C-alpha cells in the first residue's frame, strides 16, 4: 500500500485501508481531455475518516509534451 500515514489523525487507529474510486468519479484532466485517473482513498477502518485522497500516476493527467 502506498501510504505514509500510519495512524488516523482523527481517532489514532493504526488500521488504515486503501480503496479505489473509479468510473464517473475518476479525476479528469483539464489540459488533456482524454486523460483520467482513478481516485484512491486512505480510510480509517475504525472511524471511517478519509485521511488522504490521491491519484497514483498524476503525470498521466498532463499532455505528453508537458510530462517530465
Three-state SS at 35:
coil
Closest CA to 65 of 39, 32, 40, 43: 32
Instruction: Categorize the per-residue pLDDT at 1 as very low, low, confident or very high, splitting at 50, 70 and 90.
Output: very low
Provide the mean pLDDT of the chain.
Answer: 84
Given a contact cutoff of 8 angstroms between Cβ atoms, the answer to whether 45 and 51 are in contact is no
Asked whether residue 65 is domain-assigned, the answer is no
Domain count, the chain: 1
Asked whether residue 5 is domain-assigned, the answer is yes
Read off the pLDDT of residues 24-57 as tens digits, 9 standing for 90 and up: 777 777 776 678 888 999 999 999 999 999 999 8
Asked whether residue 68 is domain-assigned, the answer is no
Nine-digit cell string for 25: 468519479
Asked whether residue 53 is domain-assigned, the answer is yes
Domain that holds residue 11: 1-58
Asked whether residue 1 is domain-assigned, the answer is yes
Instruction: Categorize the per-residue pLDDT at 11 as very low, low, confident or very high, splitting at 50, 70 and 90.
Output: very high
Asked whether residue 2 is domain-assigned, the answer is yes
Asked whether residue 6 is domain-assigned, the answer is yes
Amino acid at each position: 500500500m502506498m501510504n505514509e500515514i500510519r495512524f488516523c489523525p482523527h481517532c489514532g487507529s493504526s488500521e488504515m485501508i486503501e480503496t479505489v474510486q473509479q468510473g464517473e468519479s475518476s479525476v479528469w484532466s483539464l489540459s488533456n481531455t482524454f486523460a483520467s485517473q482513478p481516485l484512491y482513498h486512505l480510510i480509517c477502518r475504525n472511524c471511517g475518516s478519509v485521511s488522504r485522497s490521491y491519484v497514483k500516476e498524476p503525470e498521466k493527467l498532463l499532455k505528453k509534451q508537458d510530462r517530465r
